[in-house]
Amino acid sequence: MHNDPVVRKYTSAGRTTVYKLPVEAFPNHITNCYLVMTDPVTLIDAASGQESSNASLLDCFARLRAEFGETVALADVKRLILTHGHIDHFGGLHFVVEQSGAEIGIHELDMSVVRFFNERLVVSSKNLQIFLERAGLTQEKTGKLLAMNKWSKDLFRARPVDFTFDEGPLPNSPFGLYHAPGHCPGQVCIQLDDILFTADHVLSHITPNQSPEFIVRYTGLGHYIAALKKIKTIPGINIGLGGHEHAIDDVAGRVDASIAFHEGRLEKTLNLCGEPRTVAEVSLELFGERKGYHVLLAFLETGAHMEYLHERGHLAVVNVEEVDEQPNPVLQYQKQ
Ligand SMILES: [Zn+2]
Ligand SMILES: [Zn+2]
């Protein structure tokens, strides 16, 4: 991740001021929240809600007042829009609401992450368990990765949201919303004049982590690539402001680069399956030996690519008799 720790000011073509607040959501993990000086004052994303993250958010407000001569404080925020249901973006919403009384909105497909946080984590963990067993992992390793996946379970208290949205203009605001699933089911990119807040969908340097749709609906590489193509067609965008990293001068160019990156990885994945291969075997070839949480990320990324190829008939499961006979066998994929 290429963090940019500087508070920055942008002005949209319609003369609306935007401040980038680089909040240290977790150690060395900066989430860019954006303060938009609309009426009502709008904050896009709330970082993680960890004590240090909340302190960092307040510090960003202090810096913007000192550096840009503003008087605005967190207490002035009256609307909080969450770009997607990942803890480094929505976890701070309790703190923002306590400080400001802001109304909270999120896409309808990610609302349940906030409202039924524990339920969604537990249910998706069951799907993850089945995925890891089919991927060819031992029970012991599967248990370890499942425990890691639940690292965020104590970080957030579920609560209702005030409004949800899908796509199109957000009422009583200058914002246009574009649903961009794949990295997260209910992720949105938000247009303000010539600015596109790209969330984690398009970032300046990296491409966001992918995960198979088998585990959570509306994730997966198919949705992600389709949503990249959709975002590229939005007219009149001069700058992209992502949920992490630096501003993006050429959003369409970054979209093309992100698609090309995944096409390259798809080709590599397919070529590794000349012989029958499991997700675990392909993941090891693609990413080598990873440690800790990165093992899980590598499996999910590999699984998303193999799922995409399998759904489109480029890979087939070749141990069908075994699959037919056993409750949840390891799947062997081969290039077709
Ligand atoms: Zn994310
Ligand atoms: Zn993120």
Give the distance, in angstroms, between the CA of residue 86 and the centroid of all CA atoms in the same chain. Answer: 6
Q: What is the pLDDT of residues 251-264, one digit of tens each?
A: 999 999 999 999 99
Distances (CA, A) of 89 to 22, 74, 141: 12, 16, 29
Q: What is the pLDDT of residues 269-320, one digit of tens each?
A: 999 999 999 999 999 999 999 888 899 999 999 999 999 999 999 999 999 9
CA of 30 to the centre of ligand 2 (A): 9
Q: Which residues surround ligand 2, an ion (CB under 5 A)?
A: 88, 200, 243
Token reading at 291:
């440690």
CA of 208 to the centre of ligand 2 (A): 8
Per-residue model confidence (pLDDT) at position 138:
87
CA of 82 to the centre of ligand 2 (A): 11
Residue 178 has φ and ψ, to the nearest 5°, of -125, 120
Task: For residues 178-188, give the mean pLDDT.
Answer: 98
Residue 221 has φ and ψ, to the nearest 5°, of -70, -30
Reported pTM: 0.96
Helix (H, G, I), strand (E, B) or coil at 182: strand
* Ligand approaching nearest to the C-alpha of 3: 2
Q: Assign 63 a pLDDT band (cuts: 50, 70, 90).
A: very high
**Which position has the higher pLDDT, 66 or 291?**
66
CA of 132 to the centre of ligand 2 (A): 24
* Bridge partners, residue 176, by sequence: 169, 191
Residue 154 has pLDDT above 90, yes or no: no
Residue 201 has pLDDT above 80, yes or no: yes
DSSP state for residue 219 in the 8-state scheme: B
CA of 311 to the centre of ligand 2 (A): 27
Per-residue model confidence (pLDDT) at position 46:
98
Cis omega (within 30 of 0) for bond into 40:
yes
CA of 85 to the centre of ligand 1 (A): 7
